[in-house]
Amino acid sequence: YYPWVKVLDPVTRQPIFLPPSGFVAGIYARNDVNRAVYKAPANEVVNLALGFESNLSKAQQEVLNPEGLNAFRFFEGRGNRLWGARTTSSDPEWKYVNLRRYFAYLERSIDKGTQWAVFEPNGEQL
């Protein structure tokens, strides 16, 4: 995720730049609560952001996106947004963050939901 996010320091009230990771984690959490893990965490508002370390153009974004680098961008009339939900996987089936997260969710759910059967006899009743 790129670039760093400009916010007001809560102590000095001066602008500072913070790494994107915390904002991305917050967007993922908000997305999961408001929608679901299978919805791409993209085109989402970046809360508390005053701006970004650099303002990317559409052309710059189009270079970064296929490489799996998701960017924060400012859009006139829509504000500061997380734009993109790609992974860096070379496997086209795992190109999108939401698909990878959804399958991880399914794997954990199936594993958790079948733990009762781990040591049961492998027979007709199982």
Residues 34-88: tens digit of each pLDDT = 999 999 999 999 999 999 999 999 999 999 999 999 999 999 999 999 999 999 9
Decide if 123 is inside a domain: no
Q: Is the pLDDT of residue 126 over 80?
A: no
Decide if 9 is inside a domain: yes
Decide if 54 is inside a domain: yes
CB neighbours of residue 15 within 10 Å: 11
Give the closest residue to 82 by CA, choosing from 48, 52, 43.
43
69 contacts: CB under 8 Å, gap ≥ 6: 1, 2, 84, 86, 88
pLDDT of residue 81: 98
Residues 9-43: tens digit of each pLDDT = 999 999 999 999 999 999 999 999 999 999 999 99
Q: Is the pLDDT of residue 8 over 90?
A: yes
pLDDT band at 95 (very low <50, low <70, confident <90, very high): very high
What's the domain count of the chain? 1
